[in-house]
Amino acid sequence: MPILIQFLRAGARNLLIWAVALVAVMAMYLSFYPSLGGAASGMTELVDQLPEGMVKAIGYDQIATGAGYAQSTFFGLLGFFLGTAAAVAWGTRAVAGDEESGMLELTLAHPVSRLQLVTERTLAILTRLTVLGVVLGLALAAMSGPFDLGLEGSHIVAVVAAWVLLTFTIAMAALMGGAVFGSRVAALGIGAGVGVVAFLLNALGAQSEENAWMSDISPFSWAYGERPLAQGWDGGGLGLLAALAAVFVATALLAFARRDLRS
């Protein structure tokens, strides 16, 4: 798989930077947990000072426990947005970025099919996000004891899997945008749009029972709705994420195979 290997090598330094940034942000957030009073008064006082709608939207109604705190403050907020930024950047670069820079034409001048290019770069992005997920999982496991989080190992794996699949789905939206339109702006807009809409749908769906349907169609809710860090694996949510990512990839393959790259 020469394209996959080349894409991974070219982004190795970038991957390291993202890994360091994510672990640093995780450590910063989780280190506050013991000083906030653990599961009792400190957390309750903090939540009581916030608007009820905001509390439900960002999941702070669960931060009285170590699992709820880690999922809400990191995986559900800055960890999600940082992961989305990396995913969108990689998905945009995979097709649209190289097409606009002229590198795509040079790549396809070799004995490489369009199907092979999209497939291998899809796998490369999944590999990168999986590496980030493994790093986050190991870091979270290492921080659980010192920060009094009391997390279970299988639940850590579950939330990391949800994070990887969610960010991968967003990356595939960006890749699809590039494959369909051949534009970096379109790829960036579609990828970022899917991430933002997923987050907003989940936030709005948590406001009332009338809006609950919004959560039902939100990829963010598919990933975190069943609180995997506290309750473990949610096969249904992961299946929906995988299915949506597959739709994006299939659309990208069909569109890229038929599009005139000379126009």
pTM for the model: 0.91
Q: Residue 253 falls within a domain, yes or no?
A: yes
Q: Which residues of 60-92 are buried (b: 16+ CB within 10 A; e: fewer)?
A: bebbbbbbbbbbbbbbbbbbbebbbbbbbbbbb
pLDDT on residue 40: 46
Q: Residue 52 falls within a domain, yes or no?
A: no
pLDDT on residue 173: 98
Torsion region of 38: left, alpha or beta (phi above 0 gives left; psi -120 to 50 gives alpha): left
Q: Residue 236 falls within a domain, yes or no?
A: yes
Q: Residue 114 falls within a domain, yes or no?
A: yes
- The segments of the chain whose pLDDT lies below 50 read 38-40
Q: What sign results for the dihedral spanned by CA atoms 23, 29, 30, 31? A: positive
Separation of alpha carbons 67 and 73, rounded Å: 10
Q: Residue 15 falls within a domain, yes or no?
A: yes
Segment 113-117 long-range contacts (CB within 8 Å, at least 24 positions apart)? 114/253, 114/256, 114/257, 115/253, 115/257, 116/3, 117/3, 117/256
Q: Residue 81 falls within a domain, yes or no?
A: yes
pLDDT on residue 112: 76
Q: Residue 47 falls within a domain, yes or no?
A: no
Q: Residue 51 falls within a domain, yes or no?
A: no
**Number of structural domains in the chain:** 1
Query: Which residue's entry shows tokens 């970096």?
Result: 184
- Between CA 119 and CA 183, with CA 194 as vertex, the angle to 5 degrees is 60
Instruction: Give me the domain span that covers residue 169.
Output: 2-36+66-258
